[in-house]
Structure formats: structure tokens, C-alpha cells
Structure 1
């Protein structure tokens, strides 16, 4: 399997070094190496990119500003000489953070980390084979998730709720629990918004599976899941919109 990547850095030497590093990894295919975030936006519009190596301090707009304006992002590895940007980068859900000067050893370690995410979550990275249909709004819709060495097909109608477990998620269905290496954010993008709602940083629930709502808790079977302040308003609006007669 080959994964496409994009290098964005205004420094010619830094770009050249990253190009040399990318060339040493057989699984990586460099689509373009560009000096401008504005050029990067055009490349992302026209090409499927799996990984973007992105410098932070650039003219026109910064790497962080670029991330904030992109609606659909590849996995991002930030590259910079300034460590103070690390926290903000992780808040934007970047895959890794490389501090310049970047050694080959550190680059390879980062790439292996990112490739691990891509291999373990093919549907999140847009890597479902073409003969596997993804029909999010159909009654027979499903997703594929990695379970150990297997890809497991899960019918959306069977999902009760999803729990975030650091780098993993637990998917609770009517008859089993599947733990897969994937982020909540990546999985959430695969779920139809009219059927699933996030109620907490750690929980996404299926609307059809809710048995009761009691103050700040949602009951699904024997499970009582918290509704956090962050999602309280959106959850209330979701319920009002989808209740009978609403």
C-alpha cells in the first residue's frame, strides 16, 4: 500500500531535506513539495493526500492558520523550530510534531506512527477498497473497522454507543464490543449526523438506541452515559429536532 504525502515549507533547504527523507520510505509517494500554504490548498483540492508535513512559520498564512481553514484534512505532521507551538498543534488534532533540525531517525519514527494510524483505520483515511460501498444514510449502511488483524463490518443500525479510550475507541453493538485503533474524531466523520450525536468527549450515542434521558445522563440499556456541558446544548437541540412531531 502506498500513501500520498504533501510537504509544505517556505524554506528550500527544509523542503529538500524532507523530500530526501520521504524518498527513503517505500510506502510514501510525494505528490508535491510547495513553499506556500496557498499552493497547498490547491494541491489538497485537486489530489487525495494522506499525510501532510506542514511547517508552522510561513509568510502569507501560518501552518496553524492553514489547518484552521481546511474543512477536510489529511493526517498532519507539524514541522517547526519552535517548541511552543506543540500544544496548539495537538489541539488541532495533528498526528505528530517534529522539531527542527529533524533527524532521519525522528522522521522515520513519526512516519511509522502516522502509517500505523492509516493502516489501522482505512475507512477514516479514505482507503476502503472501491468495491466496498459506504452508504451512510441507507438503512443497511455499515462501516469497516480494524479489530486486531481483521477488518470487521459493523451495521450502523446495530451500534448502541461509542466510547473513546485514548488512541482507541470501543464500539458497543447489540451483541458485542469491538475495540479499534482509531480516534473519536475520525470515526465521528463516518457516522450520519441524523442518527448519531456526540454527548461527551468520550461518548457518541445512537439516537435510536436511547432508552431514557435523565437530567445530564443518557440511558442505553444498562449503561448510563454522561452529557457534558460542552455538548449539552447541541444534544438538546438534536433531541428536539428528532423527536416525534418535532
Structure 2
């Protein structure tokens, strides 16, 4: 059952949908975003309008997943608004002033939409948000399992290895060597297949011959990482993905 109230403040709810808020001091700007969002049926508006205090009340009393927030507003600017509920939701900034882009990235917002906002640009922001949701879901699933089973050098031999104990994995022709805090284990497997058994937010392939545990890295330089007493090279084709993951880890 969906109920819609056509006023400057409009609410409707759908079970199991992604709950959103749109707040802007100009109603025509709100309507543009609302019309864009109608193309994504999995998203539901808990509030849209110009009243920042009503929006805050909704955010405080409900689980809001995503907030589209204007920066230049007379009663309370967007940066002040964000600080009041920063840890409650994800944010996408909307503004006519490009100089606020740096503030957006400083506050870890998902995206910065410069007005006038086209549907094509809006769609890219939604895709970014959905990607972040997927990463969070994968990490939650992966984190439930804190160990892996590694087949040893005989058919009956398996090692139960805690993920937190793995330092790095080295590829050696048709087999790999898993180095842990207490032992090294040789198994007949390749790096490409082995990395699929590991949580993607904790392990990263940084070279055609190496997978490393992000948590075990002692220091990072331009082309190498250090784990325990081992200095491991970062391959040029793996560098971008590694530094993106490393940046998320250290922020």
C-alpha cells in the first residue's frame, strides 16, 4: 500500500526498499531529483522538500540509506546538516557551486552533482551508491568466515588456516606457497583461483606472483610493500586497484 501526499513535503514508504531523502531550499530542484529517482523502483522517498528541520526529524526517527543534500540553504547549510547526521546515512551533494566539490570529498560523500543535474549524471551517482552497497554486503558475508581450508601435499591432508594469520601468498609455477605467522603451506593451485577463496576487502593481488594480506602490511612505498621481513613488489597492472583498497583501509 503506497500513500502519497502532494505538498512541499511528500512521504511514501515501501518495504525492503532503499530509503532516501531529498533536501533543497528550492522546490523545483527537489522535483528534478525526485523525477530522476522515479526511474529506480528499488529506491523509496521517506521525505522530499525544503524543510531542513523536518528532514532531520525523519532521519533521526527512521533508517535512511541515502540523502541528496543541497549545500547552499538559508536555514542551515548542507555542511552543517551533514555534521548532524553524518554517521546515519550516505550522502550525495547537489549544488550550483563547483567550489564545494572539495568539501564533499573531504566529508567522504558518495558523489557531487553540479546543477543543472541531468538524468545521465544522476544515474552515475546511483550506480556509485549501488556499488558501495554491494561492497558492504560482500564484506559482511565474507567476514562471517574467519578461516579457509588449504589442501596440503597429499589427498588426505588439509590445513585449517585463520585468515588473520596469513601474511602473503606467492605463486610458484603450478603451485603456490601460503606464508602464515607460524608456517608455510604449499598447495597445487594458482593465484587466480586461490584469491577467490579470500575476502576481497582483506586480500589483494599486487603482482602476478603475489597476493598480500592488507592487515599485515607494515609499510607501503611507491613500488613495494613490506610484510614481516619480506619486501614484495607491486606490479604496474595491479597498482591502481591496490592503492584504492589501501586508501580505504587507512582512512
Distance 1:41 1:153, change over 3 A: same
Matched, 1:42 2:47: no
Larger radius of gyration: 2
1:104 to partner: Cα distance: 0.8
What is aligned with 1:98?
113
Aligned to 2:103: 88
Question: Residue 71 and residue 21 in structure 1: after superposition, are their counterparts in 2 closer, same or farther (change >3 A)?
Answer: closer
Measure the CA separation in 2 of the matches of 1:58 and 1:161. Answer: 50
**TM-score normalised by structure 1 residue count:** 0.55
Q: Structure 2 CA distance, aligned partners of 1:161 and 1:65?
A: 43
Superposed CA RMSD in Å reads 3.8
Counterpart among 94, 106, 112 of residue 79 in structure 1: 94
* Deviation digits for residues 120-172 of structure 1 (CA, Å, limit 9, x no counterpart): 21278xxxxxxxxxxxxxxxxxx534xxxxxx63439853699xxxxxxxxxx
| 2:85 corresponds to | 70
Partner of 1:180: 200
Quote how far apart the aligned CAs of 1:11 are: 0.6
Q: Tell me if structure 2 keeps the 8 A contact 1:79–1:100.
A: yes
Alpha-carbon distance between aligned partners in 2 of 1:181 and 1:54, rounded to the nearest angstrom: 29
Residues 109 and 161 (structure 1), Cα distance of their counterparts in 2 relative to 1, 3 Å cut: farther
- Shift in Å at residue 21 of structure 1? 1.0
* 1:119 and 2:134 aligned: yes
Cα distance in structure 2, aligned partners of 1:223 and 1:93: 34
| Structure 2: distance between partners of 1:59 and 1:181 | 41
Aligned to 1:7: 22
Using the alignment, how far apart are the partners of 1:59 and 1:25 within structure 2? 30
Alpha carbons of 1:43 and 1:160: their partners in 2 closer, same or farther (altered >3 Å)? Answer: farther
Structure 1 distance, partners of 2:165, 2:227, is 7
Where structure 2 has 5 or more consecutive residues not aligned to the other structure, the ranges are 1-15, 148-161, 168-178, 186-193, 203-212, 219-225, 232-251
Structure 1 gap segments, 5+ residues each: 125-142, 146-151, 163-172, 183-202, 213-218, 225-246
TM-score normalised by structure 2 residue count: 0.54
Q: Does structure 2 retain, via aligned residues, the 8 Å contact 1:6–1:51?
A: yes
Matched, 1:144 2:141: yes
Structure 1's 107 and 71: CA in aligned 2 closer, same or farther, altered over 3 A? closer
Contact 1:10 1:58 in 2 (8 A): yes
Q: What count of residue pairs does the alignment treat as equivalent? A: 164
Counterparts of 1:21 and 1:50 in 2: how far apart (Å)? 17
2:164 is matched with 159
Q: Deviations over 1:20-68 (max 9, x none)?
A: 1111112211111131332222111111111111110112211111112
Q: Does the 8 A contact of 1:37 with 1:63 survive in 2?
A: no
